[in-house]
Amino acid sequence: MAYTTINKSTDYFNTKLYSGNGGTQAITGVGFQPDWCWLKSRGIANHRVFDAVRGATKAIYPSLSNAEGTSSAELNAFNSDGFTLGSEANVNANGVNFVSWNWKANGQGSSNTDGSINTTYTSVNTTAGFSISKWTGNSTAGATIGHGLGVKPSLIIIKNLGASSQWLTWFDSFANTEMTYLNLTNAKGTSQTYFNSTTPTNSLITLGGGVDENQNTMVAYCFTEKKGFSKFGSYYGNGGSGEPFIYTGFKPAFIITRNITSAVNWGMFDNKRNSFNVVQNVLLPDNSAAETATSAKYFDFLSNGFKVKNDSVQYNGNGEKHIYIAFAEAPLVGSNNVPATAR
């Protein structure tokens, strides 16, 4: 049996850097038609997320609690090898450097009828372990929606599109009463109202009745681990008394980390803004701040995981739990039995 079913990670996830031109431009070189695009100026600007389920012109903002916005001047089309931008400065200011993180689902998708609420659309890529679902909330605790993955999700991110709300985030290492927020620095919290204290199943997500998960029009991004391609895990920091190594089973292309014991920022890293070790360029998903590109050392990306090089509470809090989201540049060993090389 092959180590992984995904030998070429860039068929399903890819980071693309680009420079704005202040007008309109088609960004190419993604390698596929993306269904989820996360864009960020490497200067000061809020993060923006676009997807094929909601429609290309509709943005939501991971660094804000704001409701969905609509503008054809930002991202306005998904293309076979990328996406098209309008003249909006937050995504295409002249001479400004930007980063885009891109995932492949399955276009706009179709309604999923597994739950008590039928989704308007659910776009699923079971090979890559990724789905996007949109539904109309009914404010009913215990309502369910189908996520389409066919296995229990490893990560769920939910956002209310019609109201100011938090980016509700759940990992499968959490209890069914635990959660955190993508847009806030809060440590992991506990609430029996979220997810109605019910663990997701192979087909369903159970919802509470609150504004963060089941009122107005909602969207959910769901992921499950795929060996050699994605990993959603945790590690404990040691405060700098060593360099914790986290095994993923692949050479990382993209990592998001967060200390869930202390109230600190999330951090985003990739192999394009830093093409060699040490990884030093960080963006904060919960913040509009410009990219930090100093002499600080954060991580080494290795052939089979990553090593923590930083002794701060944010990335290596002594005895504190850190969660991470990771996608591959290359599997540790592909079906051709060629191992990944170090950077």
pLDDT along the chain (343 residues), means of 10: 83 98 98 98 97 98 98 97 98 98 98 98 98 98 98 98 97 95 95 94 97 97 97 95 92 97 97 95 97 87 96 96 96 64 69
Q: Residue 300 in contact with residue 307, Cβ under 8 Å?
A: yes
Which single residue is written with the structure tokens 């939910």?
158
Residue 4: its pLDDT value, please?
86
pLDDT value for 12: 98
Give the integer Cα–Cα distance in Å for 219 and 210: 14
pLDDT tens sequence across 156-179: 999 999 999 999 999 999 999 999
Looking at residue 234, what is its pLDDT?
97
Distance CA(45)–CA(297), nearest Å, equals: 24
Q: What is the pLDDT of residue 1?
A: 47
Domain residue limits, the chain: 9-103, 121-223, 230-331
Supply the pLDDT for residue 333: 65
User: What pLDDT, on a 0 to 100 scale, did the predictor assign at position 178?
Assistant: 95
The predicted pLDDT at position 225 comes to 97
Q: How many CB atoms lie within 10 A of CB 77?
A: 13
Specify the pTM.
0.96
